[in-house]
Amino acid sequence: MIGSERSAYLFLSLLQAKTGSSLISRLGELPTSSILEMSARELAQRVKMTDHARSSFDGLRGDFDPDALVKRLGEKGIQALTPADDGYPTRLTEMPDPPPALFVDGTLPEGPTIAIVGSRKASPTGLATARRLGRALAGRGVCVVSGLALGIDAASHQGALDGSGPTVGVLGCGIDVVYPRSNRRLFDGVRENGAIISEYYLGESPLAWRFPARNRIIAGLGDVLLVVEAAEKSGALITARHALDSGRDVWAVPGPPGIPECRGSNKLLSDGAGVLWDIPEFLETVFPEPARTSKVGAEEPQVPDDLPGNEARALAVIGFEATSVDEAAGQVGLPVHELLSALVLLELKGYVTRDDAGAFVRRAAL
C-alpha cells in the first residue's frame, strides 16, 4: 500500500486537474495525510473550496485507488513523484504553489538548469537565438527547461539536443499527450535526453487554463529564467512573474523597438531584468564554471591524435559556443577556403555542427 501522505498528494493532483485551482497552497497547518480521512464538507470548513471542488472531491474519492494509479503509470514507464518522495525536485519545494504530484517520463537531470521561454510566433532571429542558446548551454552541461510548445520553446529544446545536452519539457496536458502533435519527434528526443514532465495524469486534455498553470513549474525548475521573445500579453511574462515569486533571476534578450513580438520582453528589461546582449558573456556571468569536462579531465575539448593537420588545427579553435568562420580563421592562421574545407570534413565526421547562422559548434558528446 502507498503511504497515506503520498496517496493524499496524488489525490490532490487529480482534484486540482479537475478544478483548476490550487488546494495545496491553502492547506496551511492541516496535515496533507488527513485529507483522505475527511469529507468534502469537513475539508471545506478548514480550506476554502468552490462548489465545483467539493463536488469533484466526492466524485474522485469514491473511485480513488493510488496503487492502481501508480501501477498504470509504471506500465507506461512513467514515474509519479510527490513532495513526500525523495526524488521530488527540491527547486519546486521553494515555490509558493508546488504541484502536489509530478509525473515523469524519462530521467530528471541533475546539475544547473535554465528555463527558456518565449513566443510561439517567434521571429526567425528569435528562433535562431533560442537554438543557439540551447546549444551553447548544452556545452556547459546546463539543462534547458521549456514548455515543448511551438516557437521559442521548441527551438530551445532543439538547441540542447543539437549540443547533446540535457533538457526537460513541461506539459500543460496529460503526461502521455503529445501537444502539439507536430512536435512528436521533438518529444521523443527530449525524453531520450532528459525527461517530459506534467502535473496532469494520463489522458488530460490540453485545456487553455492549464498552460498558465504549468508555467510556474517551468519557472520553478530553472535556476534562472530567460525570455527570448515575448509580446505584451504573453504566457512567457506569466512565467517571469512566477520566477520572480520563486526568487529566481530573470533575463531577457533585447528586441528591435516597436516589434509586437518583443514588446513584453523589452518591458522586462525596462523593469530591471538582466540584459542578454552577448551569449558568451551571459554564460560566463550566469554559469561561469563549465559543468562538462573532457574525457581526460581537462577543461578544454580535446583534439583526436589521428586527425589530419588542417582538420586538427580547425577543431582546436572550435569550442562549445558558436564560432563563425571569420572568427576561427583569425585564430587558426589558415586561409578561409582551407579552413572551411576542413570544417566541412569535421562536420561530416561528426565532430562539429552548424547553427542557423552558419557558425560552427563543437559537438558536446565528443
Task: Kindly tell me if the per-residue pLDDT of 76 is higher than 60.
Answer: yes
Residues 197 and 217 sit within 8 Å (Cβ to Cβ)? yes
Q: Kindly tell me the burial class for residue 359, based on how many C-beta atoms sit within 10 Å of its own C-beta (0-12, 13-18, 19 or more).
A: buried
pLDDT in tens, 252-262: 999 988 888 89
| Cell triple for 129 | 537565438
Query: What does the pLDDT read at residue 332?
Result: 76
Across 73-77, 140-144, 209-213, 334-338, least confident range: 334-338
pLDDT band at 184 (very low <50, low <70, confident <90, very high): very high
Query: What does the pLDDT read at residue 28?
Result: 76
pLDDT in tens, 158-177: 999 999 999 999 999 999 99
Task: Kindly tell me if the per-residue pLDDT of 202 is higher than 50.
Answer: yes
pLDDT band at 364 (very low <50, low <70, confident <90, very high): low
pLDDT in tens, 271-309: 999 999 998 899 989 998 654 433 334 345 677 777 888
Task: Kindly tell me if the per-residue pLDDT of 54 is higher than 60.
Answer: yes
CA dist., res. 155 & res. 357, Å (int): 14
Q: Is 225 left (phi over 0), alpha (psi -120 to 50) or beta?
A: beta
Mean pLDDT for 124-136 is 93
Query: What does the pLDDT read at residue 196?
Result: 98
Query: What does the pLDDT read at residue 322?
Result: 80
Mean pLDDT for 194-198 is 98
pLDDT band at 89 (very low <50, low <70, confident <90, very high): very high
pLDDT in tens, 243-252: 998 889 999 9
pTM: 0.79
Query: What does the pLDDT read at residue 291?
Result: 45
Q: What percent of the chain has pLDDT over 70?
A: 95
Task: Kindly tell me if the per-residue pLDDT of 334 is higher than 60.
Answer: yes
pLDDT in tens, 102-122: 999 999 999 999 999 999 999
Q: Kindly tell me the burial class for residue 66, based on how many C-beta atoms sit within 10 Å of its own C-beta (0-12, 13-18, 19 or more).
A: buried
Q: What percent of the chain has pLDDT over 90?
A: 57
Q: In whole numbers, what is the pLDDT of the chain averaged over residues?
A: 88
- Give how far Cα 338 sits from Cα of 47, 240, 247, 309, 323, Å: 72, 46, 50, 11, 16
Three-state secondary structure string covering the chain: CCCHHHHHHHHHHHHHHHHCCCCHHHCCCCCHHHHHHCCHHHHHHHCCCCHHHHHHHHHHHHHCCHHHHHHHHHHCCCEEECCCCCCCCHHHHCCCCCCCCEEEEECCCCCCEEEEECCCCCCHHHHHHHHHHHHHHHHCCCEEEECCCCCHHHHHHHHHHHCCCCEEEECCCCCCCCCCHHHHHHHHHHHHHEEEEECCCCCCCCCCCHHHHHHHHHHHHCCEEEECCCCCCCHHHHHHHHHHHCCCEEEECCCCCCCHHHHHHHHHHHCCCEECCCHHHHHHHHCCCCCCCCCCCCCCCCCCCCCCHHHHHHHHCCCCCCECHHHHHHHHCCCHHHHHHHHHHHHHCCCEEECCCCCEEECCCC
Query: What does the pLDDT read at residue 1?
Result: 56
Handedness of CA 112, 123, 266, 257 (dihedral sign): positive
Residues 282 and 251 sit within 8 Å (Cβ to Cβ)? yes
CA dist., res. 175 & res. 105, Å (int): 7
- Between 82 and 20, name the one with better pLDDT: 82
